[in-house]
Amino acid sequence: MKNLHISLPLVDGSCFPMDFASGKELIQTLISDDWSAPPRCLLIEARSDDGTTVVISVPYSDSDQAHISVDKEES
């Protein structure tokens, strides 16, 4: 998952790094690995006021990279 960097900027100006070696490690940290069916991926979606939607898909994998899609809503 070398193409995804996650950090948590703190109010004191420092930054807490949240880098993981793989999407599988990230997802297992968030939800553990004791679900009856394993997840396919973690989706992060954000919509702006102008109708643009950005989706980041982090696969539940030790080797696959994160994918990004950007869609602009037609007015």
Q: Tell me: the pLDDT tens digits for 12-66?
A: 999 998 888 899 998 888 887 677 788 899 999 999 999 999 999 999 999 999 9
The pLDDT assigned to 74 comes to 73
The pLDDT assigned to 30 comes to 86
Say how far apart CA 53 and CA 36 lie, in whole Å.
31
The pLDDT assigned to 1 comes to 56
Estimate to the nearest angstrom the gap between the alpha carbon of 17 and the chain centroid. Answer: 14
Residue 12 in domain? yes
Residue 50 in domain? yes
User: What is the number of structural domains in the chain?
Assistant: 1
Say how far apart CA 5 and CA 75 lie, in whole Å.
33
Confidence (pTM) = 0.79
The pLDDT assigned to 75 comes to 64
Range(s) of the domain holding residue 21: 7-72
Residue 1 in domain? no
